[in-house]
């Protein structure tokens, strides 16, 4: 019976969601789940917000302006979320999947690389700085929390958004790091279709046989 839980992924397309409400929902889901809870993938976007990891340094926020800042319980430094960015919250039992945290991050990165390859875009990961890069510019950030073997938070893929707020921070703690997005590389890039493609890549790479 546990194989059934291991092989099934619930995919939820949630549209635009308030950041704090969504974060609290992730915490509640993770706190209440058990070995028979199906894994879930939440695909959505957020209104403008800066988020800082639990050990993040506020010195990496150069000028927030009118954009709110929330220090949260994921790993990593500061990043920006806003409309036109695809958020994928990966609520995955990595213990049941028999994945280490590093292996899980690698599969998330590979799913983005595979997605971009469908658009004839060559992308790569970097060992010292989790995420996905195109020509040294970052297109996808990854930040996770794992509790009792249950992963939450996930990844943020820049699709068709205003990149200006990234200039107000040192993205992921790296001064001068340049950001890019899918719409700069593929004129027809749209968030809903990109979300469907990403769900398919994650389903394959994380070894699910069924999505609901």
Q: Is residue 42 part of a domain?
A: yes
- Residue (of 28, 139, 4) closest to 91 by Cα position: 28
> The domain containing residue 189 runs over which residues?
2-206
Does the pLDDT at position 81 exceed 90?
A: yes
Q: Is residue 33 part of a domain?
A: yes
Does the pLDDT at position 2 exceed 60?
A: no
Domain with 146 in it: what CATH number? 3.30.930.10
Per-residue model confidence (pLDDT) at position 5: 72
Model confidence pLDDT, tens digit, residues 82-104: 999 999 999 999 999 999 999 99
Q: What total number of domains does the chain contain?
A: 1
Question: Contact 38/209 with Cβ under 8 angstroms?
Answer: no
Question: Contact 51/145 with Cβ under 8 angstroms?
Answer: no
Q: Is residue 211 part of a domain?
A: no
Q: Is residue 70 part of a domain?
A: yes
Q: Is residue 86 part of a domain?
A: yes
What residues act catalytically? Answer: 172
Q: Is residue 90 part of a domain?
A: yes
Q: Is residue 51 part of a domain?
A: yes
Q: Is residue 212 part of a domain?
A: no
Region class of 168: left (phi > 0), else alpha (psi between -120 and 50), else beta? alpha
């Amino acid at each position: 019976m546990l194989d059934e839980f291991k092989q099934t992924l619930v995919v939820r397309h949630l549209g635009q969601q308030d950041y704090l409400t969504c974060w609290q929902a992730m915490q509640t889901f993770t706190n209440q789940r058990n070995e028979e809870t199906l894994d879930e993938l939440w695909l959505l976007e957020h209104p403008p917000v800066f988020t800082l990891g639990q050990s993040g340094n506020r010195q990496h926020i150069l000028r927030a302006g009118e954009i709110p800042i929330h220090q949260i319980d994921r790993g990593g430094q500061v990043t920006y979320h806003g409309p036109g960015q695809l958020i994928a919250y990966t609520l995955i039992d990595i213990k049941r999947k028999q994945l280490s945290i590093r292996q899980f991050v690698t599969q998330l990165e590979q799913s983005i690389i595979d997605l971009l390859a469908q658009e004839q875009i060559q992308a790569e990961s970097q060992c010292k700085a989790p995420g996905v890069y195109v020509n040294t510019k970052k297109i996808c950030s990854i930040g996770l929390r794992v509790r009792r073997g249950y992963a939450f938070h996930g990844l943020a893929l820049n699709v068709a958004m205003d990149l200006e707020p990234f200039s107000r921070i040192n993205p992921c703690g790296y001064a001068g790091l340049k950001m890019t997005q899918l719409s700069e590389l593929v004129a027809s890039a749209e968030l809903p279709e990109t979300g469907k493609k990403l769900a398919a890549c994650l389903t394959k790479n994380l070894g699910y046989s069924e999505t609901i």
